[in-house]
């Protein structure tokens, strides 16, 4: 297992909200393309999440180690698994809103899983005009602080795959 801990001592209300949102999302979903939450608990001023261990790091790490880019077969396998997880979320009207290489984890079994649901939101379309997340992987409508939907997550996956 992997253990993710957050101190609540010096966290803002926004950071606490994002943490609770991530926990709520992970409790509601179970899919082979999403990191599994085994449990979570609060002890004193620390929230601890017990997650599935993804033992090969992230796509960000994988791309960083590659001198000449990734093999097309690897990219195809990554694409399929990423889009499977995204489709699962979108079918449940959940927008991830922070797809980036660091939020796509790898396992030695060959599985690829989405993680970090702190910015996820429920709804076909987000009416929020706040620019949250990693701008490098954002769709144009998100950068313009316009309403956005599933296509914004898909755009972000496309940018990840271009890495």
Active site residues: 98
Which residues pair with residue 3 across a beta bridge?
50
d(CA 111, CA 106): 6
How large is the angle between the packed helices 72-91 and 150-162, nearest 10 degrees? 170
Closest to 19 (Cα-Cα) out of 47, 39, 41: 47
């Amino acid at each position: 297992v992997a253990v993710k801990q957050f101190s609540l001592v010096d966290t803002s209300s926004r950071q606490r909200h994002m943490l609770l949102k991530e926990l709520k999302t992970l409790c509601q979903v179970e899919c082979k393309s999403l990191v599994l939450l085994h449990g979570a608990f609060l002890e004193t001023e620390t929230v601890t999440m017990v997650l599935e261990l993804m033992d090969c790091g992230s796509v960000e790490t994988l791309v960083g180690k590659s001198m000449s880019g990734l093999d097309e077969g690897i990219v195809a396998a990554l694409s399929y698994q990423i889009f499977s997880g995204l489709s699962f979320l979108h079918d449940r009207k959940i927008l991830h809103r922070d797809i980036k290489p660091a939020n796509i984890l790898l396992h030695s079994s060959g599985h690829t899983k989405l993680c970090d649901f702190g910015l996820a939101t429920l709804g076909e379309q987000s009416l929020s005009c706040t620019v949250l997340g990693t701008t490098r992987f954002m769709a144009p409508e998100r950068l313009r602080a316009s309403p956005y939907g599933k296509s914004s997550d898909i755009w972000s996956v496309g940018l990840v795959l271009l890495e």
